[in-house]
Chains A and B, each alone.
Chain A
Amino acid sequence: AQSVTQLGSHVSVSEGALVLLRCNYSSSVPPYLFWYVQYPNQGLQLLLKYTTGATLVKGINGFEAEFKKSETSFHLTKPSAHMSDAAEYFCAVSDPQANDMRFGAGTRLTVKP
Chain B
Amino acid sequence: KQEVTQIPAALSVPEGENLVLNCSFTDSAIYNLQWFRQDPGKGLTSLLLIQSSQREQTSGRLNASLDKSSGRSTLYIAASQPGDSATYLCAVTQGGSEKLVFGKGTKLTVNP
Asked if chains A and B come from one complex, the reply is no
- A residues contacting B by CB (< 8 A) are none
